[in-house]
Structure formats: structure tokens, C-alpha cells
Structure 1
């Protein structure tokens, strides 16, 4: 999820478990800890020029539940001897630190990017794909709760009746923000289940009920969804609006040069990408600005046909007409009209015939 969301989520959970007179400090500390796992991007930007490493190791060790649990214990132990707040309520602050850290990757796992919750185990990244990476309907309740709690929380002590009342009100705002945002997240899970059920029924007619597939919400909402189904020669795309669509789900086939991909699949960088994307990719030949024919791999999980956010130059054609791996896989510039795409998403929610 985006940084603002992670900050207010970390602030919310941390501030909720500490004593009332610690709440403002917890809001600040929880916000910092809530965004800490994403600082891995700074490491890769400084020390790595390899795009595959940058993409596939983001949300890696820094998002591991095991790593963050150990980190939380270490931070608590180091700060306990230096902070009078933690000394005053050590177990509550231990819980606050741990929750602020681990809620970050758990929320990330609800997106489609892929989060390595179980690192160092070599299981594929977790991608429950029920919510887009930016969704104001999830973030705003948390933000309101944190702002209200900050304004209502006492600076030091809460001995007077008015101070106790404000402290209770601050707690209630935090709880309300978490309840509303969590309810929205639960709705996203239910919405995905509804879409998957219709997709399963509709794919029977194409004899694709057992084919690998995934569903993900279209940008900034949980009412319009996309389902992608992988087959040996390409992939099928289907859209579903929970508002406008009735009956069976319609799918459109798109070809992919999977034979060319198979010839290059032993390349370590490419193997890493295929593991990270769990095979939800498409491969097409495309001429570059220099007129040379290139083989482009698109990550089908993020973006809309044909403009995907992550497109990689993986090979060039040789003098014999075969594909030869690029010396280094590179990321292609983003293409497409973002404003036009977002306008279509909005129309698609309410119009089953809207076209991109």
C-alpha cells in the first residue's frame, strides 16, 4: 500500500494499545515504524542497478513476519533502557512496536504486487489481491481517526475528568477508524469471492475451469474487477462490475509467445521474475526506437491491456531469427494515457458496455 496508508495504520494500532498519556508519542512512533519496511527501496536504489533485484526483493526480507518480529524485539530491548515511556509501560510498548511493524506487510499482502511474508522460506510471494495499492476508502477512516486522536490526546497526564474524557474520545476515534477500514478490507475479500465465483462458472463453457487464474480490483475501487486466465498460447481477460454486470462473465483471448519464453526460461534473472509473478506474464515481440526487434515480457498483474506498469526487455533477435537473451533485463518506460484509463475504470463500474 502507499506510504500514507502505512503511516496512519501504524499510528492507529500503536496509539490504541499504549496508555492514554503516551498516545501522542505512539502516533509518531507508530507512523515511523509503519513505513519502515518500505525503506528497502532506498537500499536497492543506492546499492543495486539491477531492475530484477529491485523489483523482486522489494517486499522481501524487510516484509518478513519473522524478520520484523525479531526487529521489534531488538528495538524494544534497545529503547527500554533509554525511554522513560517504555519503562513505564514495557509490555504495552512492546505490543505497539510489534503491531506497527507487522501490520505493514499483512496489509501489503492484500494487494497484487506480492509480499514475502514467510521469507527466508522460498515460497512464492503472497498476493491475496483484494485491494488496489492506493484506495482512499481504506485510508481516510484511519487518517481521520489518527487526526482526531492527536487533537484529543493529553500531552502528559490525564488525571482530571476532562482529560479522561478526551482520552476516551481519542481511543474511540482510533477504534472507529480501524473498524471502518477493516470492514472495507473485509468487503474487498467478499467482493473478490463474488467475482471468482462468477468467473469459475463462466470458464466452464471455455473448458478453462482448472486453468491458472487470478482476479484483482481495477484501480482505486473494489466494485470493478479484472480476471486473467493463463493458457499455453496466451491468456484470457475478463472484466466484472459488481454494479453493472449480470449473467455470465465475458472473456477475450490474447496471444503470447510462450514458446520464446520457454527458450529463455533458464536465465537466472528471468527465472526470478517468473517466480515473483507466479507465471502471470505475457510475451510479445516489439520493435524498439532503433528498429530492432525485441522480446518484451509484461507482468499481467498490474496495469490494463495493453499498458502494463512492469514491462521488461528480455531478449533481441539474432541474425538467424532466434531470440538471444539481453545482457541485462531492463524495465521499459510506462506507456498509455493514465487519465483515459481512470475515466474508463469509473465508467466501467456503472456501465457494462464501457470500452477502453
Structure 2
């Protein structure tokens, strides 16, 4: 999640744990602890793919944060004694640190909660920036600064609202997942690898990807879609996924493919091999695109140090179609499917 959300979450958690001992500086400490795990973004792992894959690694691991919280608490308790007992102080520090990766694990990007074990947790039920999650926390934090005698109570209200919303998002994910499974039940795409995620800044409109060998299908479904006799019909755009032209994947390609759970696209653009993580973003606005090899007539494909491609800027003309689709209009499905204006893409109905 974004830094503002993590700071607000950390401050709110600190206020609740501190209880009647909560002061404005408690909120500041909680906010700092809540953003601390993301300082790993300043670590250079040598190339953009490694930087992408290894972010939310050791600094988000419960196996690291729990002992680190004990060390931090011991130092704090020794050099800056507080009215809180050692146990209460440790609970404050640990809760602020650990709620950060726990929240991150609900996003699409994924979080290595159990590093160094080689797995990643990604519920994919919330976008990395969601105002409806963040605003209750911020509003109650501001209110707590105005009514300081009620700091802990007000912050607990904000946490209850945001946590309830987070739980609802998992339910919404399951609703959409059930719709798509019912729609695909008797089609060739049934039981194919599927990925579901909310579209940016909301959890009403959801995006789907289904892999099918060297093709993939992309579609949208809104919680506001009207139901007809056949359920919730969904239109899909068939797109080229491509195949890896290398005899075997390089270390970086293998790393990215595993990170993306195989939801990657291979494209040859100007004699360059571009590998794209299909999960993050939507349609043509996919930010994690990397050049990993170059082709020449004499030598064929040659691996190069990975280069991250510049992100495409969102065109304002595409925003109305997304908004109308969010509200349940199926008339804009074709517009969404053809945002990249590629004539080879065809809209199909499964």
C-alpha cells in the first residue's frame, strides 16, 4: 500500500495499543514504524527486475520483524523509558511493524511474509491505493488530535471501519470469482489459470486474466453489473501472450515469471525481447515491462542487463469508458478491450 496509508495505519495501531497513555508523539512514532518496512525500496539489488521482485522481501518478513521489534523495544526501554511496561511497549512496536506487511499481502503485488521461505502472499483484493480504506483512518486521526482525551477510542473506530472494509473486499473478490467461474464453466477456458484484481482506486470494477498457451484473455466485471437470464455475461478480449524465444529462460526471466505466477507476456519490439507482468495495471497500462534481450541477424538473441521500459501515461479519453463500466454499463466493453487500438485483438464472448 502507499506510504500515507501505512503511516495512518501505524499511527492508529499505536494509539490503540497505548490506550490512555496515547499522546500526539505516539501517533508520530506509530506512523514512522508503520512505514519502516518500505525503506527497502532504497536498496539497489543491481537491476530493475531484481529490485521489483525482491521488494517486500526480508523487511516484510514476520521472521525478521518479530525479533527486530524485540531488539528495538529493548533499546527504547533502556535509553528512553516510558510509562508503558516492556510488554506493552513491545506490543506497540510489533503491531505497528507487522500490520504493514499484513496489509500489503492483500494487494496484487504480493508480500514475502515468511522470507526466507520462497513464497509470496498476494490475496489481490485491494488496489495499492484505496481511499475508502485510508480515509477512515485519516479522519479519526485528525479527530483524535482535536479531542486528545479520546485519542485511543477515536483511532480504534477508524481501525474497525477500515478492517471491516478490508474484510468486505475479500467477500467481493469471492463474489466476482464465483461469477467468472460460472460464466466459464462449460467453455474451453474453464480450469485455465486465472487472475483477478480490482482496477485502480476502487473495488467495484474488477479485471480478469485467463492464460491459454500463447494467448490470454482479459475482461472486466463490476459489482454493479445487472443480472440477466444467463447470469452475468462477460466479454473478453483475446490477446497475444507470445512465447519465450530463448532456448531457456535467463535467471531474470525465470525470476520475473515466478514472481508473476506465470502471468507474463513475451513481445518482440524493435528487435528487443520485452517481458511484461500482466497482473499489475490494466490493458495497455502495464507498468512492469522489461527489456531482457536483443536480436541481431548475425548472433540471434543475446541476453542483456534488464532495462525497465518507460510507463505509458494514461490517456484522459479512456477514463470515461472505465467509469461507465464501473457503473455496470456493458456497452463500453469493446472500448475497454480495444484501448490499445490494436486491430488484431478481437472481442469474444465465451
TM-score, normalized by length of structure 2?
Answer: 0.89
Q: Give the Cα separation in 1 of the matches to 2:313 and 2:299.
A: 30
Q: CA–CA distance in 1 between the matches of 2:301 and 2:242?
A: 11
Q: What residue is the counterpart of 1:301 in the other structure?
A: 279
- Residue aligning to 2:143: 148
Aligned to 2:339: none
Structure 1 partner of 2:179: 198
C-alpha distance in structure 1 between counterparts of 2:113 and 2:317, whole Å = 35
Structure 2: runs of 5 or more not aligned: 337-350
Higher mean C-alpha displacement, 23-32 vs 218-227 = 23-32
- Residue aligning to 1:134: 129
Deviation at 1:323, TM superposition (A): 3.0
Q: Does 1:36 align with 2:41?
A: no
Counterpart secondary structure, 1:138: helix
Deviates more, 1:96-105 or 1:295-304: 295-304
Give the superposition deviation at 1:130. Answer: 0.4
State how far apart, in whole Å, the 2-side matches of 1:320 and 1:10 are: 57
RMSD: 1.7
Matches within 5 A, 1:305-324: 305-319=283-297, 322-324=300-302
* CA deviation map 1:154-197 (0-9, x unaligned): xxxxxxxxxxxxx3x32321121111111111111111101110
Distance change >3 Å, CA 10–CA 338, structure 1 → 2: farther
Measure, in 2, the Cα distance between the counterparts of 1:176 and 1:332: 43
Q: Once the 2 structures are TM-superposed, how far is the Cα of residue 338 of structure 1 from its aligned partner?
A: 4.8
Greater helix share, 1 or 2?
1
CA distance in 2, matches of 1:81, 1:39: 25
Cα distance in 2 for partners of 1:334, 1:93 equals 43
* Alignment map for 1:39-78 (pairs within 5 Å): 39-44=39-44, 48-78=45-75
Tell me the alpha carbon deviations over residues 279-305 of structure 1, each in whole angstroms, 9 at most, x when there is no partner: 111111112xxxxx2121111111121
Q: Offset of 1:337 from its aligned partner? A: 2.2
1:81 aligns with 2:78: yes
Q: Is contact 1:241–1:352 with CA below 8 Å preserved after alignment?
A: no
Q: Does 2:314 correspond to 1:333? A: no
Which residue pairs with 2:192 in the alignment? 211
Q: Which moved more, 1:215-224 or 1:245-254?
A: 245-254
Distance in 2 between the 1:61 and 1:19 partners?
A: 30
Match of 1:277 among 254, 257, 260: 260
Counterpart for residue 90 of structure 1: 86
Distance 1:73 1:342, change over 3 A: farther
Residue by residue over 1:57-105, the C-alpha shift from the partner in whole angstroms, topping out at 9 and shown as x without a partner, is 11110011111111111100111112221x5422221111101000000
- TM-score, L = length of structure 1: 0.88
Alignment of 1:17-36 (within 5 A): 17-36=17-36
- Is contact 1:138–1:185 with CA below 8 Å preserved after alignment? yes
Superposed CA offset, 1:295-327 (max 9, x none) = 2111111112122111111222231694332x2
Quick check: 2:22–2:151 contact (8 Å CA) kept in 1?
A: no
Contact 2:192/2:212 (8 A) holds in 1: yes
Aligned to 2:341: none
CA distance 1:66–1:352, shift in 2 (3 Å): same
